[in-house]
Amino acid sequence: MNKIIHIEDFSRSGGQLAQIDPAELMPLPPPYDKMSKPPIRQLTDEQRKRMDASLDGVVAIGLTPPANPEEEKAFIDKFLAGLEKLFTIENNWTFLQPLVHTLDYCVKCQICSDACPTYLASGRQEIYRPTMRAEILRRIISKYIKKENSLVRKFKASDIDLNWQTLARLAELAYRCTLCRRCAQVCLIGCDNALISREIRKIFSQQMGIAPKELHEKGAVQQLKVGSSTGMTPAALMNIIEFIEEEIEEKTGRKIKIPVDKKGADMLLIHNAGEFLAWPENLEAFAILLDAAGVDWTLSTEIAGYDSVNYGVWYDDFQFSRVAIRQSLAAKSLGVRKISLGECGHAHKAGIVVADRVLTGDLNIPRESILPLLEEIVISGRVKLDPSRNNFPVTLHDPCNMVRLMGIVAPQRRILKKICPQFREMTPHGVENYCCGGGSGFAIMQSTNFPDWRSAVSGRMKFKQILDAFHDVPGPEVKKYLCAPCSNCKGQFRDMFEYYGVWEKSGILYGGLVELIVNAMVDLKKPFIQWEWH
């Protein structure tokens, strides 16, 4: 059994709080039950000196220890000042009500723990319990913000010693939760520990300027500066679009002009820019299908107008709002009637739902998911489809952001049931799905051994689910398709599948939804999906 860890241990200096023991991790079916390599790479001594890894030996942020006690004090004071701001309307109206509710009313029943894929897959590592972060925060608030006296603190078991180490571990711990909100879904009190992870991230970012590089500097900042978090400039975008048009012609013989910056188009379609670089076939499929269905659409080349990602939704309210506003401005300048979001879960949730109360006046342009339109195209028969072209086992991954967090559950299923004769569900699925393990930015975070952690721990439950869904055809000789209508999830699957050697051992290809639709199009001569994409 994993070591019992108490909150007091978070303040102990030196040493690593939790060890990830391969023997304790949730078992996987064969052939993945016997992995030859250790699940998580050890850091080098040099890395350990430079970056704090005292939580679990893994680095997402990797803070540098303070040089002297003054620096340590300044660090703690700044954190506490940020914590105080979290409870003021002007600084945190955005999440004040859910935050206060969770902190004040959790009854510590631990029901949420059993819902958390990270906690379960880790073999119930105490530090990954959904309530752990909230409990640490509650104690800091009791002692340092409310300044409750020591007797009250004893009565409420809310004592804690705050030092640099405590905060460094807390900062890392805030990045061991995928914000999938499965824990929140089962809480009968309406508390939300995922939100607490986000609020902790927020203090570190908005107050202290600390966030994983991939989310902030290379993510949101780059998106606002260059146009996309991938670093792709509008000029580069145009090149890729040209390439995509050529590819389409080569594959299908069709000459399709992808509409770009088309003023007055009905719909601005925003993709996750990661698709342009990593999965151009998704964009090709969109272009082919929308063209065949006669949809009046356009892409944009404005800042953020060609990249639907919004990393702020995971760590920073201002970065979030900035991106959401830029995306709306892009639509406004084109004079489109609506914005439609491509296959990206968090972009859906961020752009359609969360941004809703930041976009006021004429920035509030109607925004929707592309899935209902895809459903309409498939079900109406507007485009002729032949399901037998998809006659291989297919399962569906539900991106939390699209499903549990915004209730888009049925359209993708109706599509798959119509065009994939061997479609099978995972268990559980729909709003009770398990996260891919790459949520809340993890899929793009590549720091040192963090990718190992998200393959071995946070993605483990999903991985098992996928294998279980294909239990009747486990070997690589039967080619199988994991449909993941989310770029972020696909990023996680790419890394996780490589980590476990899934193509070689099980023959599972991951990809989007629209690829399957186009693959079934009767008037395409060759199959669109190529198993070599793996």
Partner 1 sequence: MGTLIIVLTYIAYVCIVAVYTFKVVGWLRLPPHIRWDLYPVIHEENYRYGGSYYEQQEWWTKPRPKNRWRSIMYSLKDNFYMGEYYKRNPLYWLFLLPWHLGFIFIITFHILCFFAAVSMVAGLEISAASASSAGKSFYYILLATGGFAFLTGTFGSIGMIFIRLADRSLRMYSMPMNFFNYFFFLIVYGSGLFAWLALDPTLVEYRAYWLGLITLSPPVLHPMTVLHIILFDIFLIYLPFTRSTHYITRILAYFYIRWDDEPNQRGSKMEKQLNDLLGQKVSWEGSHIAKGKSWVEVATEPGFPDTKKDSK
98 lines the binding site for partner 1 (CB under 8 A): yes
118 lines the binding site for ligand SF4 (CB under 6 A): yes
Residue nearer to ligand SF4 on the CB measure, 336 or 396 = 396
Residue 297: CB minimum distance to partner 1, A: 14
Residue nearer to partner 1 on the CB measure, 371 or 467 = 371
CB 491 within 8 A of CB 502: no
294 lines the binding site for partner 1 (CB under 8 A): no
Residues 6+ apart with CB under 8 A from 509: 479, 480, 481, 482, 503, 529, 531, 533, 534
CB 316 within 8 A of CB 216: yes
CB atoms within 10 A of CB 21: 14
117 lines the binding site for partner 1 (CB under 8 A): no
With contacts defined by CB under 6 A, how many residues of the chain interact with ligand SF4? 40
List the alpha helices (DSSP H) in 457-486: 460-469
Give 91: exposed, middle or buried? Use CB within 10 Å, 0-12, 13-18, 19+. Answer: middle
One character per residue 87-116, x = contact with ligand SF4 (rule: CB under 6 A): -------------------xxxxxxx--xx
Pick the binder of partner 1 from 56, 192, 261, 291 (CB under 8 A): 192
- 308 makes contact, choosing from ligand SF4, partner 1, none, with CB < 5 to 8 Å by partner type, with none
Closest by CA position to 369, among listed 453, 464, 508, 267: 267
Residue 136, helix vs strand vs coil: helix
451 lines the binding site for partner 1 (CB under 8 A): no
345 lines the binding site for ligand SF4 (CB under 6 A): yes
CB atoms within 10 A of CB 47: 15
Mark residue 104 as left, alpha or beta (left: phi above 0; alpha: psi -120 to 50; beta: remaining): alpha
Residue nearer to partner 1 on the CB measure, 241 or 406 = 406
CB 257 within 8 A of CB 245: yes
Residue 209: CB minimum distance to partner 1, A: 4
Residues 6+ apart with CB under 8 A from 139: 7, 158, 159, 160
Determine the interface stretch with partner 1 among 12-20, 27-35, 187-195, 494-502 (rule: CB under 8 A): 187-195
Pick the binder of partner 1 from 161, 376, 498, 523 (CB under 8 A): 376
Pick the binder of ligand SF4 from 141, 191, 224, 461 (CB under 6 A): 191
Judged by CB under 8 A, the chain residues 405 through 424 that form the site for partner 1 are 405-411
35 Cα distance to chain centroid: 26
Numbers of helices and strands, H then E, in the chain = 25, 8
- 482 makes contact, choosing from ligand SF4, partner 1, none, with CB < 5 to 8 Å by partner type, with none
CB 286 within 8 A of CB 342: yes
- 533 makes contact, choosing from partner 1, ligand SF4, none, with CB < 5 to 8 Å by partner type, with none
**141 strand-pairing partners:** none
Determine the interface stretch with ligand SF4 among 221-229, 237-245, 261-269, 487-495 (rule: CB under 6 A): 487-495
418 lines the binding site for ligand SF4 (CB under 6 A): no
Residue nearer to ligand SF4 on the CB measure, 447 or 488 = 488
Residue 458: CB minimum distance to ligand SF4, A: 7
List the alpha helices (DSSP H) in 294-388: 312-315, 317-334, 345-348, 371-380
313 lines the binding site for ligand SF4 (CB under 6 A): no
Residues at the site binding ligand SF4, with contacts judged by CB under 6 A: 106-112, 115-116, 118-119, 130-131, 177-183, 187, 189, 191, 193-194, 197, 345-346, 399-401, 435-436, 438-439, 443, 486, 488-489, 492
